Structure 1
Amino acid sequence: MDISRKLGILVFCGVPAIIGGGIIYGVAGSYIPVAVYELLLYLVAGAIISK
Structure 2
Amino acid sequence: MDISRKLGIMIFSAVPAIIGGGIVYHFFGSFVQVIIYECVLLLAAVGCTGRK
TM-score tier by shorter-chain length is over 0.9
Q: Give the whole-Å Cα distance in 1 for the aligned partners of 2:45 and 2:34.
A: 16
Who is 1:18 aligned against?
Answer: 18
2:45 counterpart letter in structure 1 = A
Q: Please give the TM-score of this superposition, normalised by the length of structure 2.
A: 0.94
Q: Give the whole-Å Cα distance in 1 for the aligned partners of 2:31 and 2:9.
A: 25
Deviations 1:1-51, CA, capped at 9 Å, x for gaps: 011100010011111001100010011000011000000000010011111
Identity %: 55
Who is 1:44 aligned against?
Answer: 44
2:35 counterpart letter in structure 1 = A
Q: Please give the TM-score of this superposition, normalised by the length of structure 1.
A: 0.95
Q: Give the whole-Å Cα distance in 2 for the aligned partners of 1:18 and 1:45.
A: 14
Q: Give the whole-Å Cα distance in 2 for the aligned partners of 1:32 and 1:12.
A: 23
1:45 counterpart letter in structure 2 = A
Report runs of 4+ in structure 1 exceeding 4 Å deviation: none
Gaps of 5+ in 2: none
Q: Give the whole-Å Cα distance in 2 for the aligned partners of 1:33 and 1:25.
A: 7
